[in-house]
Structure 1
Amino acid sequence: MKTVAMVLFPDFLLLDMAGPLEVFSIANRYLPDADHYRISTIGTERTALRASNGVLVHADHPLEQSLDSYDLLLVPGGPGAYNQQHQPLLAWLESAPQRARRYGSICTGAFILGHAGLLDGHRVTTHWHYTERLGKSFPKALVETDHIYLQDRRLITSGGVTAGIDLALSIVAQDHGKKVALEVAKVLLVVMKRQGSQAQFSPLVAAVAPQDSPITRVQNHVLEHLEEAFSIERMASLAAMSARHFARVFAREVQMTPMEFLQSARIDRARSLLESSDLPLKTVAFRSGFGSVRHMRFLFGEKLGLTPTQYRQQFS
């Protein structure tokens, strides 16, 4: 019997807890008794803990009464994970590598692992909205943005909210084979492996900085005229700079090259049109500045892991 524990703290996200634990609970229906998952929750307080949606949950055990070892130890996300620090929990989690055969986080629970020193030197992920913040908070971690979940040795982290279900399904598949995991996925009405990555949910281009500068003026001009042809030279002329100097300044201020910005902005425009209209792909490609459906399809596959048609089917 494998032991699975979820650590709870004030203001945790309820779905981060319930989704993965439901996977292991349903898996027990398809497993012999000796192979069942033994599921428990560990609380930072002896009293009931209030989740971020207001629901009260009473953990099975407080930290000081937890077991000495677990097969899997998970930390959920939520406002309490990235806006607060729970010192007793952090001290307890420092021993997670010795306490658990596998350990990890759902969504922004990665921030708690980071404060406990467990992300350093590992490839990790979190909800797409928080990857930049995670990377800045824990520079020794190798934060990757394009994974639904990511396992690096014994550490496993996931993207936001429902990605915890994907993480749990992957563990069931490791423990008991793909067939059992597939049966669980069917019960939950989810797919075993999603198409694409977290990039399909997040904008590729961040909002243009509010301050007025030659670079922001170029960005705004490009966004307003995406259907037109742009080159480094044309963008540089709009900023009244040489092409070489412009490319260097743009990359420093925007954290991507001018052509990466242009390409990403066109993908975002196409995504918006695919989500909000029934326009033919040829029209979407033209209005987004791709020039051809073939080029648009290639870049969608490269950046999002989906074709424009697949994207429309999933998000429109």
Structure 2
Amino acid sequence: MKDIAIVLYPDMLMLDMAGPVEVFSIANRYLGEDQRYRISTLGTTGTSVRASNGITLQADLPLSDAPTAWDLLLVPGGPGAYNERHETAVPWLREAARASRHHGSICTGAFVLGEAGLLDHRHVTTHWHYISRLKQRFPRADIETDKIFVKDDELLTSGGVTAGIDLALSVVSEDHGRQIALDVAKVLLVVMQRQGGQAQFSPLVAALAKEDSPIARVQNYVLEHLEEPFSVERLAGLAALSPRHFARLFSREANTTPMDFVQRARVDRARQLLESSDLPLKTVAFRSGFGSTRHMRLSFSERLGLTPDQYRRQFT
């Protein structure tokens, strides 16, 4: 019997909790009694906890009465994870992390672990939309930007929402073998291992530099003329700067190189066309500035872990 605890707090995302719980619960159907998972929910504010969708959940135990040693301790995400402080839960989490065999988070639950100092110098991930925020708040964490989930010894973290199911399936696979995990995945109508990472769901071009800067003007020009050929020299000319100074200034303001920005923008344009039209791949490649389907395919595989064909089938 393996004991699993899920920490519940106000304004948590219920699916972050329910997804992994269902994985372990369904796995129990295929396991002998002494191999099953025993799941407990622990409330940080008592036993009654209101989730972000307005539904009130009844925890098995208040955190103050809960044991600290578990086979797996998980903290789900939700607005309450990053908008609130968890002073009463942090000391308990620190002790429980030391006492438990594994501990981790789903989605933005990583913010709660971070408050407890459990992300410092560890490889972790969270929902793609909150990667930058997590980096700013916990700069000593080594954050993986594209992984669906990350295992760093006893610490397990996952990307957004349904990635908790992926993480839980991997735990079941390690505990009881791939076949049991595959049986559970079939019941849930999910795949055992997704193609690609979080990048396939997130835009590759982040917010632009300040509007009054020459870098922003170049970025906007690129986005409006992606079908044109670009080089660092040409982009520097648009900014009226030397190539060396332009490249240095671009990297500082945009946190990427000029040509990486161009490639990211082209992938994003191609994704938009693949999602919203049935244009042939050759046309998509031309309108996105790739010049050939081969170049587009290489860029997709490198950045998204999918081919354009696979992306279109998955997102349309």
TM-score band (shorter)? over 0.9
Q: SS at the partner of 2:166?
A: helix
Query: How much has 1:99 moved relative to structure 2?
Result: 2.1
Query: Could you tell me which amino acid in structure 1 is paired with residue 240 of structure 2?
Result: A
Q: Is structure 2 residue 297 aligned with structure 1 residue 297?
A: yes
Aligned to 1:4: 4
Aligned to 2:78: 78
**Alpha-carbon distance in 2 for matches of 1:215, 1:96:** 48
Query: How much has 1:97 moved relative to structure 2?
Result: 2.7
Aligned to 1:213: 213
Task: State how 1:1-316 maps to structure 2 within 5 Å.
Answer: 1-316=1-316
Q: SS at the partner of 2:233?
A: helix
Question: Could you tell me the TM-score, scaled by structure 1's length?
Answer: 0.99
* Percent of aligned positions that are identical: 68
**Alpha-carbon distance in 2 for matches of 1:46, 1:174:** 33
Query: Could you tell me which amino acid in structure 2 is paired with residue 115 of structure 1?
Result: E
Q: Which shows bigger deviation, 40-49 or 225-234?
A: 40-49
**Alpha-carbon distance in 1 for matches of 2:301, 2:315:** 16
Query: How much has 1:260 moved relative to structure 2?
Result: 0.4
- 1:2-60 Cα deviation digits (max 9, x unpaired): 00000000000000000000000000000000101000100012241100000000100
Query: How much has 1:96 moved relative to structure 2?
Result: 2.7
- 1:49-89 Cα deviation digits (max 9, x unpaired): 10000000010001121124100000000000000011110
Q: SS at the partner of 2:6?
A: strand
Q: Unaligned regions of 5+ residues in structure 2, if any?
A: none
**Alpha-carbon distance in 1 for matches of 2:73, 2:296:** 42
8 Å Cα contact 2:146/2:197 also seen in 1 = yes
Q: Which shows bigger deviation, 88-97 or 169-178?
A: 88-97
- 1:238-257 Cα deviation digits (max 9, x unpaired): 00000000000000000000
Query: How much has 1:210 moved relative to structure 2?
Result: 4.9
**Alpha-carbon distance in 2 for matches of 1:66, 1:240:** 64
Q: SS at the partner of 2:71?
A: strand
What RMSD over aligned residues (CA atoms) do the two structures have, in Å? 0.8
Q: SS at the partner of 1:39?
A: strand
Question: Could you tell me the TM-score, scaled by structure 2's length?
Answer: 0.99
Q: 1:119 to 1:311 in 2, by over 3 A?
A: same
8 Å Cα contact 2:281/2:293 also seen in 1 = yes
Q: Unaligned regions of 5+ residues in structure 1, if any?
A: none
**Alpha-carbon distance in 2 for matches of 1:109, 1:68:** 18
Q: Which shows bigger deviation, 99-108 or 206-215?
A: 206-215
8 Å Cα contact 2:7/2:76 also seen in 1 = yes
Query: How much has 1:95 moved relative to structure 2?
Result: 1.2
